[in-house]
Chains A and B, each alone.
Chain A
């Protein structure tokens, strides 16, 4: 059941993520095009704006509709999760609804249908507010996701009475660095994605010698925006990786296939990792079928020092006292004690035994360590008490490694593509550079691959946790018969496949008929 629930959620997430980054980026590009139209007053810019807006609209509907499935699947598929962390997770979702989702939907109406019903100024403002609303929506949902990646005692405390995590500091929740860099990484990836799309479609027209002026103008804006955003994606991606390395060491170790921690840890540029039992590995050499590595770069990425120690999966399972890393066995033991304290507290409460309640409470919140100035209590480690298998404390290495590396490689390719296109546009050679145009067209699907792999890195890399270190995935699911989840899985799969193909066919038709045929 758990695997089907996960599969259903992953399917929805990936399908949703085909559309969301695109609309995040397109909303800004449409606003840019319209701003130029309002500034210059030239009708050709209005045509450009309306063409890309049509494409935006086709994607907007599916992005929005799959988003609602996500919100409700937290309840339908992950009901235990919803109760245990709903006090924290619900708040960003509600704020998203109040301040962002309504803004996005409301101003979309003017942006799409108000061309002749409102003034130019109101229309332009609506297009910008639509873009801002879309991006604010992403901010709030990524704050919620950031909390799942790195729950911190800065903003939560596990309540004994209610047997759930409760919020203690909203400001700390929304300003958590993990969420902030994640937001910037995701939205800038969305801008890059939309820019690649606009550049690629423009190049397609130039190759066909159709809609030439339209294509040149669209490509110029896309190349400029894409160059800035693709560089930013990589820069903020580096910062994101640094945050992950320090908050989710199992994820970064899996993403780099690092089994045995070392000083001056390398980044593997290209390689074929093996999925092996981390407990028995004696050296990193035996865990690769093949690799080309760049020495010291993982230490630099994760610790900002090329000779710093980066823990490997073996250290994280067996422990490494020299670096203060606890073994799984110790974490599990403390976690189990916390679970027993919780049970003891409620047993005492049922009997009305206040002394026993106080004792259980004191035990539950007993400090067990200090990390970076923060006191870690038994309660903070309770999640480990639910895990039994030490080899399941980290995610599967191969999918995380490949998805991470493909994402990074594509990120660098987009910078090259945009820089090349931008220079060509400045020199006036883009129109005649068939090789560059073909590469731009061929690159159109690549950002979707990159963003999907980015999500796989983030979400598969978080396993075995729904909320890292706090709530294991296996106890987050709804207790429900397998057949229910299977049936809805295939119901939504069928809908997604049909609607996805319909979307592509409509998109191709609109692109093929070009800016004039689209209206």
Chain B
């Protein structure tokens, strides 16, 4: 089954590239925002109720941002690449449903867990936060991993028949095979899941060190520094596996000028992508890694500012991961069941008109970022979270 790219119109193509970069930026920002999930996986760091409330209040004031970034990420993909939305969400059904489930549990937990008469008890809500912080993160990472290793589907855009393949054992796991089918790169997907989880945990620790008063929560800060050291080791191992996989696996490729859009497997494709465009992706990726490591070392040494270089670093890393997955003639949602069913930014995109309209709408993004930064500044300028603030009866504390 082969179909031609929707268009060879240059403007349309550049808009497709533009929107893939937008998706990449949103993906990078989402990775930064996962400090909330990472922080949730660190609840055990608290040794008494006040320490726990400090952590909950610090993360709870930011949970909407991960959530809204995810919504916008979904909305942008829907608007710009509706065929991906259709195939991935409809096909990898269980992965997305479990991710959704994790986010629903997260949303209510902050607001409900410390309220009297909350039905299922504080510990259940804590468990929900752990689920969202650990399982959801690994699933998101594994889902992103399939952008490189491929998924088990065939799709005909004319008859609109989507077929999600059955794994060798006869079960149709609807996307979960990404985490257990080792013949088709589950090891890579899981390693990426662990990278995402570990990075989120590091960001969570750095965020809490920045947001909780250094004197009043001194013991928490000390324990978080220990966490940073251990997570850094785990990150290095899992990142090593991911980089090994990325640089050695065969990558999916197509010629953007070929009307047939034929997809082939190419050795070293993702290395080629890193070196493309005058090696800018590789440079930015390395800058991101360096910033991230600087942030970690700042945290280990006791600085509360590590979240900022680490945050910027993870945004850059995230952007490059998405860029090398979808640009330079690379199908961003490859099918290992049928190479020619693979989705590219060209054959899965919205119409030229829709992309043009959305490009105008995207002008609003800097303003949105502007007021988010303003709000963060306003909230942070009066200092970190203190015990007094949490105990203040006039505060809306979790």
B residues 26-81 in Cβ contact with A at 8 Å: 61-62, 64-65, 67-68, 70-72, 74-80
A residues 111-156 in Cβ contact with B at 8 Å: 112-118, 122, 126
One of B106-114, B192-200, B217-225 contacting the partner: B106-114
* Least Cβ–Cβ distance between A236 and chain B, in angstroms: 27
Does A499 contact B160, Cβ atoms closer than 8 Å?
A: no
Does A90 contact B350, Cβ atoms closer than 8 Å?
A: yes
Instruction: Knowing A94-B76, A94-B79, A99-B368, say if A71 contacts B71 (CB, 8 Å).
Output: yes
Does A106 contact B396, Cβ atoms closer than 8 Å?
A: no
Tell me which residues across on chain B come within 8 A of A505, comparing CB atoms. 117-119
In angstroms, Cα B80 to Cα A53, docked, is 37
Tell me which residues across on chain B come within 8 A of A374, comparing CB atoms. none
Set B93, B357, B389, B396: member contacting A91, Cβ < 8 A: B357
Does B396 contact A98, Cβ atoms closer than 8 Å?
A: no
Instruction: Knowing A86-B350, A161-B6, A166-B354, say if A98 contacts B364 (CB, 8 Å).
Output: yes
Tell me which residues across on chain B come within 8 A of A66, comparing CB atoms. 104
**Dominant secondary structure of chain B at its interface with chain A:** helix
One of A33-41, A180-188, A363-371, A480-488 contacting the partner: A480-488
Does A480 contact B90, Cβ atoms closer than 8 Å?
A: yes
A462 interfacial contact with B, CB 8 Å: no
- Quick one: CB contact mask for A154-190 with B, threshold 8 Å, 1 for yes? 0000010111101110100000000000000000000
In angstroms, Cα B158 to Cα A286, docked, is 46
B residues 170-209 in Cβ contact with A at 8 Å: 172, 174
One of B229-237, B297-305, B374-382 contacting the partner: B374-382
Does B78 contact A75, Cβ atoms closer than 8 Å?
A: yes
In angstroms, Cα B244 to Cα A507, docked, is 52
Tell me which residues across on chain B come within 8 A of A346, comparing CB atoms. 158
Does A101 contact B68, Cβ atoms closer than 8 Å?
A: yes
Does B100 contact A69, Cβ atoms closer than 8 Å?
A: yes
Set B78, B100, B157: member contacting A90, Cβ < 8 A: B78
Does A98 contact B365, Cβ atoms closer than 8 Å?
A: yes
In angstroms, Cα B118 to Cα A95, docked, is 35
In angstroms, Cα B70 to Cα A71, docked, is 11
Does A118 contact B86, Cβ atoms closer than 8 Å?
A: no
Set A77, A91, A110: member contacting B375, Cβ < 8 A: A110
- Quick one: CB contact mask for B367-398 with A, threshold 8 Å, 1 for yes? 01001100100110110000001001111100
Interface size class of B (residues with CB under 8 A): 35 or more
Set B88, B106, B371, B378: member contacting A75, Cβ < 8 A: B88
B165 interfacial contact with A, CB 8 Å: no
A479: nearest residue on chain B (CB-CB)? Answer: B162
A residues 76-114 in Cβ contact with B at 8 Å: 76-80, 82-84, 86-91, 93-99, 101-103, 105-110, 112-114
* Least Cβ–Cβ distance between A102 and chain B, in angstroms: 5
B368: nearest residue on chain A (CB-CB)? Answer: A102
Does A506 contact B357, Cβ atoms closer than 8 Å?
A: no
* Least Cβ–Cβ distance between B96 and chain A, in angstroms: 6
A64 interfacial contact with B, CB 8 Å: yes
* Least Cβ–Cβ distance between A58 and chain B, in angstroms: 6
Does B78 contact A61, Cβ atoms closer than 8 Å?
A: no
B392: nearest residue on chain A (CB-CB)? Answer: A116
B117: nearest residue on chain A (CB-CB)? Answer: A509
In angstroms, Cα B378 to Cα A462, docked, is 47
B83 interfacial contact with A, CB 8 Å: yes
Does A109 contact B62, Cβ atoms closer than 8 Å?
A: yes
One of A263-271, A389-397, A490-498 contacting the partner: A490-498
Tell me which residues across on chain B come within 8 A of A122, comparing CB atoms. 378
A512: nearest residue on chain B (CB-CB)? Answer: B117
Tell me which residues across on chain B come within 8 A of A166, comparing CB atoms. 350-351, 353-354
* Least Cβ–Cβ distance between A80 and chain B, in angstroms: 5
B130 interfacial contact with A, CB 8 Å: no
B358 interfacial contact with A, CB 8 Å: yes
Set B85, B357, B396: member contacting A54, Cβ < 8 A: B396
B97 interfacial contact with A, CB 8 Å: yes
A98: nearest residue on chain B (CB-CB)? Answer: B364
* Least Cβ–Cβ distance between B80 and chain A, in angstroms: 7
Instruction: Knowing A87-B354, A94-B79, say if A502 contacts B86 (CB, 8 Å).
Output: no
The interface centre, meaning the residue of A66, A94, A98 with most chain B CB atoms within 10 A of its CB, is A94
Does B371 contact A106, Cβ atoms closer than 8 Å?
A: yes
* Least Cβ–Cβ distance between B137 and chain A, in angstroms: 16
Tell me which residues across on chain A come within 8 A of B292, comparing CB atoms. none
In angstroms, Cα B162 to Cα A14, docked, is 29
Tell me which residues across on chain A come within 8 A of B90, comparing CB atoms. 75-80, 82, 478-480
* Least Cβ–Cβ distance between B230 and chain A, in angstroms: 31
B residues 131-145 in Cβ contact with A at 8 Å: none
Instruction: Knowing A86-B78, A87-B82, A87-B354, say if A75 contacts B96 (CB, 8 Å).
Output: yes
In angstroms, Cα B97 to Cα A468, docked, is 28
**Dominant secondary structure of chain A at its interface with chain B:** helix
Does A115 contact B396, Cβ atoms closer than 8 Å?
A: yes
Set B110, B157, B375: member contacting A106, Cβ < 8 A: B375
Does A93 contact B79, Cβ atoms closer than 8 Å?
A: yes
Does B394 contact A498, Cβ atoms closer than 8 Å?
A: no
Does B172 contact A101, Cβ atoms closer than 8 Å?
A: no
B120 interfacial contact with A, CB 8 Å: yes
A376 interfacial contact with B, CB 8 Å: no
Tell me which residues across on chain B come within 8 A of A426, comparing CB atoms. none
* Least Cβ–Cβ distance between A444 and chain B, in angstroms: 19
* Least Cβ–Cβ distance between A23 and chain B, in angstroms: 12
Tell me which residues across on chain B come within 8 A of A492, comparing CB atoms. 101, 104
B160: nearest residue on chain A (CB-CB)? Answer: A80
* Least Cβ–Cβ distance between B160 and chain A, in angstroms: 5
Does B107 contact A498, Cβ atoms closer than 8 Å?
A: no
B residues 300-329 in Cβ contact with A at 8 Å: none
A residues 359-404 in Cβ contact with B at 8 Å: none
* Least Cβ–Cβ distance between A311 and chain B, in angstroms: 33
B289 interfacial contact with A, CB 8 Å: no
Tell me which residues across on chain A come within 8 A of B97, comparing CB atoms. 76, 488, 491
Does A506 contact B118, Cβ atoms closer than 8 Å?
A: yes
Tell me which residues across on chain B come within 8 A of A488, comparing CB atoms. 93, 97
B57: nearest residue on chain A (CB-CB)? Answer: A113
B91 interfacial contact with A, CB 8 Å: yes
Rank and list the top 7 A-B pairs by shortest CB-CB distance, nearest first: A75-B89, A86-B82, A79-B90, A65-B107, A90-B79, A90-B78, A105-B64
Interface set of B (CB-CB < 8 Å, partner A): 6, 61-62, 64-65, 67-68, 70-72, 74-80, 82-83, 85-91, 93-94, 96-97, 100-101, 103-108, 110-112, 115-120, 157-158, 160-164, 172, 174, 350-351, 353-354, 357-358, 361-362, 364-365, 368, 371-372, 375, 378-379, 381-382, 389, 392-396
**25 pairs across A/B with beta carbons < 8 Å?**
A62-B107, A71-B78, A74-B85, A79-B89, A79-B91, A82-B90, A83-B86, A86-B82, A90-B77, A91-B358, A91-B361, A98-B72, A99-B361, A99-B364, A103-B371, A106-B375, A107-B375, A109-B375, A112-B396, A116-B392, A162-B351, A163-B158, A166-B351, A491-B97, A506-B112
A-B contacts besides A89-B78, A94-B79, A113-B395, 17 pairs, CB < 8 Å: A50-B394, A64-B64, A69-B100, A74-B85, A82-B82, A83-B85, A83-B160, A89-B82, A90-B80, A94-B80, A109-B375, A118-B378, A484-B94, A498-B120, A502-B119, A509-B116, A509-B117
Interface set of A (CB-CB < 8 Å, partner B): 50, 53-54, 57-58, 60-62, 64-69, 71-72, 74-80, 82-84, 86-91, 93-99, 101-103, 105-110, 112-118, 122, 126, 159, 161-164, 166-168, 170, 346, 478-481, 484, 488, 491-492, 495, 498-499, 501-503, 505-506, 508-510, 519
